[in-house]
Amino acid sequence: MSSRDSLTVPALGYGAANVGNLFRALSDDESWAILEAAWDSGIRYFDTAPHYGLGLSERRLGAFLQTKPRDEYVLSTKVGRLLRPNPDHDGGLDTANDFHVPDDLQRVWDFSAAGIRRSLDESRERLGIESIDLLYLHDPERHDLDLALAEALPALEQLRSDRQVSAIGIGSMVSDALAASVRSADLDLVMVAGRYTLLEQPAAADVLPACRETGTGIVAASVFNSGLLASSEPRRDGRYEYGQLPDELWERLLRIARVCADHDVPLPAAAIQFPLQSDVVRSVVVGGSRPAQLRQNAEYAALTTPGALWAELAAEGLIAA
């Protein structure tokens, strides 16, 4: 069994997809300024992945964290996709995956024990940091969930047993995959992306109960629902699951915003703090592509919110009670 008290994850983390040029290109200096703002705001948990910018996020984050004392931060990355030369590269960009980087590499799924270990070693090399605290299997359902349960998760358990990492888990935006993984393997943490937010909580039906039964912690990511909760005045034309926002959710969003306004709590502050009201959520990871966003999110995380806010949202059926 895992020693789940061996790693304490700070309550607020930075998800470093943006410094991998997610949605728009950033210079090295711009990326450094974002990471500096996160650090100066007190953020001490940083999450990345080979997938983010075909390794660019890991390289930039690693270069930054190498300037900081290793015992002062928690670092997580992900496995499951190896980066290999793209034989079809003709000068194009990886915009099909929303990253503005050259597509001279391609992602190759590998859930074998050797592939998982190789992914960890290659991430260490890109980061320039040997000690990685937490290793997630990334989006296993997008490749082969059965294979993940049979091979990849046992490989992660072995890495932890060998003390190559302190903690293991999976990261996914699919509740079924998260719950199945929690019940089939001895995981420390799961990263729940967009499935336990102020706007909607499908993970409350299966993932949270599974985590309570097994003692597994949750790291909540994508808590702004693709930006819908990032402003106190929601916009109807916001993205939702990369498509149009359904009318039912739009009405729900307006009701939530009104309750937050009645309690003088900015909607984004409630979005960051909501997951942490759960007994099984350990941390909330937020993104950001500008230093001001990181500073603002840290302020939102520290804002005092009245218990009456959560009570009213629950009474209105807007959050899982």
Look up the domain containing 157 and give its range.
Answer: 12-315
Per-residue pLDDT at 238: 63
Work out how many domains the chain is built from and give that number: 1
pLDDT per residue, tens digit, the chain (321 aa), is 344 557 999 999 999 999 999 999 999 999 999 999 999 999 999 999 999 999 999 999 999 999 999 999 999 999 999 999 999 999 999 999 999 999 999 999 999 999 999 999 999 999 999 999 999 999 999 999 999 999 999 999 999 999 999 999 999 999 999 999 999 999 999 999 999 999 999 999 999 999 999 999 999 999 998 889 999 888 877 666 656 788 888 999 999 999 999 999 999 999 999 999 999 999 999 999 999 999 999 999 999 999 999 999 999 999 986
Residue 93 inside a domain? The answer is: yes
Within a domain: 113: yes
SS3 call for 224? coil
β-partners of residue 102 are 93
Assign residue 123 the CATH number of its domain: 3.20.20.100
Strand-pair partners of 136 = 78, 169
CB-based burial, 299-313: b 16+ in 10 Å, e otherwise? ebbeeebeeebbebb
Position 5 in a domain: no
Give tens-digit pLDDT for 263-293.
Answer: 999 999 999 999 999 999 999 999 999 999 9
Do the domain assignments include residue 2? Answer: no
Q: Is residue 107 part of a domain?
A: yes
Catalytic residues: 52
- 14-44 pLDDT, tens digit per residue, is 999 999 999 999 999 999 999 999 999 999 9
* Cβ atoms of 287 and 17 closer than 8 Å: yes
Does a structural domain hold residue 1? Answer: no
Task: With CA atoms as reference, report the closest residue to 282 among 160, 177, 190, 185.
Answer: 190
